[in-house]
Amino acid sequence: MALHLGDVAPDFTAETTDGKLNLYEYLGESWGVLFSHPADFTPVCTTELGMVARLKPEFDRRNVKVLGLSVDPIESHRGWVGDIEETQGTALNFPLIADPDHSVADLYDMVPPAAENNLTVRSVFVIDPGRKVRLVITYPASTGRNFDEILRVIDSLQLTDEYRVATPVNWRDGDDVIVATALSDEEAEQRFPKGFRKLKDYLRITPQPNR
C-alpha cells in the first residue's frame, strides 16, 4: 500500500553493503533519506550514488542518515560499488540495500503496478526522528534526481518544525520566510522581533528567524 505523508515509516531489517541493517537502529535519533534505484550497473543510478556520496557532509550537517536501495543481490552491489568509485571519483560512504526478494521495495511501494520488469522507480522518502514520512517523491527511471532539492526540503522541514513559519517558492536556507497564517499580527510581533512585511492579511514576510 502506498505510503503517505505523516504515515509511520515501516521498519525492516535488510542486507546492505555495510552488513545487516535495521532501519530504526540505523536512524537512531536522526532524520533519514531512503531512496531506491531501478537496477545495478545502470548509468543514471551510478551518477546518483556518486552525488549522494559527495553530499554526505551536507546530510551529516543536517543530522540525516542516507540509505540507498537497489533490488539486485549483494554480490552485484559489491561489483557496482567499484564502478561508482572509479567513475564518480568518490567511494560509496553509506549503505546500499540489496533487496532481491523486493521485501523492502514492496513495503515502501517502490514498484509501480505498471513497471516493466518489476523495476523499482526512483523513490525518495524523507523520514523524521519521530519515524514519520515527511516527503515522498517519485521520479521516472530515465531522470536522475536533484539531491540539492532534497536537502532544500529537509532545511525547510527542520526550520518549519521549529518556528511558526512556512517557506515560499524556491526558498533556500537564509531567505525570508512566511509567517504562519494561524498567528495573529500581535503574536507574530512577539515571535519575530525582526518584524514582518504585511503584503496581505494572509501573506506576511519575515527574515529567517534562526539567522
Which residues of this chain interact with ligand BEZ, rule CB under 6 A?
38-39, 42-45, 141-142
Hey, is 60 helix, strand or coil? Answer: helix
Nearest distance, CB of residue 133 and ligand BEZ, angstroms: 24
3-state helix, strand, coil in the chain (%, to 5): 35, 25, 40
CB of 42 or CB of 160, closer to ligand BEZ = 42
Hey, is 180 helix, strand or coil? Answer: coil
Nearest distance, CB of residue 44 and ligand BEZ, angstroms: 3
CB of 117 or CB of 170, closer to ligand BEZ = 117
C-alpha distance from residue 84 to each of 58, 65, 138, 175, 197 (Å):
20, 20, 23, 35, 48
Nearest distance, CB of residue 37 and ligand BEZ, angstroms: 7
Q: What does residue 58 show for φ and ψ, rounded to 5 degrees?
A: -70, -40
The number of residues in the chain equals: 211
CB of 54 or CB of 131, closer to ligand BEZ = 54
Residue whose cell numbers read 550537517: 61
CB of 121 or CB of 166, closer to ligand BEZ = 121
* 45 classed as catalytic: yes
Cell numbers at residue 158, please?
A: 527542520
Q: Give burial (CB, 10 Å; 0-12/13-18/19+) of 28.
A: exposed
Nearest distance, CB of residue 102 and ligand BEZ, angstroms: 16
Indicate which residue of 14, 23, 27, 45 is catalytic: 45
Nearest distance, CB of residue 16 and ligand BEZ, angstroms: 19
Contact in structure between 138 and 144 (CB atoms under 8 Å): no
Q: State how far the Cα of 73 lies from the Cα of 113, in Å rounded to an integer.
A: 22
CB of 141 or CB of 157, closer to ligand BEZ = 141
Please list the active-site residues: 45
